[in-house]
Structure formats: C-alpha cells, structure tokens
Amino acid sequence: MWYVYFLKLSSGDIYVGSTNDLKRRFSLHRAGQVLSTKARLPVELKSYVAVETKEHARELEIYFKSGSGKAVALKRLVRTSKPAE
C-alpha cells in the first residue's frame, strides 16, 4: 500500500506527502529529519489516504497540493479545528 498523508505543522500550515511506509516517514518528520518540515516542528498527523500504487499516490499528492485539491482536503480530510456545534 501507498499513503498520501497530511501533517499539521507548528506554523498551522498543512504539509502533504506520500510514502509506502507511513510509520517510518512520520517518525522521520517528528525527528526533524525531513528538510521540508524540520523548521516547523512539532508536526501532527491529521489524516491519510491509502491507495494501491505509487503512481496513484503521486497523482493524489499533486492534486492535494493544487488549489482545488487543497480546498477538498481541508474540508473533507483534514480538520484543523473543532466543527461548529
């Protein structure tokens, strides 16, 4: 399996990545060993999507980094605050 994952950074931004080993990759992020997130620790895993192939994961990662994909992810996959009661 491959995973597209969403991290909330200390800056409040959402980072999107993909991997075939989510536990290992998240550990690397938390340890500050990923260049693109190490300056914005701590990170929090907010959500992930599992797919069968690397190609599909990369397509989704690119989509979720686009304007419309980011809007969908923030609305449907990533909750950065409590919903209104």
Q: Would you state the pLDDT for residue 68?
A: 93
Q: What is the total count of domains within the chain? A: 1
Q: Would you state the pLDDT for residue 79?
A: 74
- Give pTM, 2 decimals: 0.90
Written as six digits, the tokens of 70 are: 């980011």
> Which CATH number covers residue 21?
3.40.1440.10
Domain containing 51: what range?
Answer: 2-77
Per-residue model confidence as pLDDT tens for the chain (85 residues) = 999 999 999 999 999 999 999 999 999 999 999 999 999 999 999 999 999 999 999 999 999 999 999 999 999 998 766 555 5
Asked, for residue 84, whether it belongs to a domain, the answer is: no
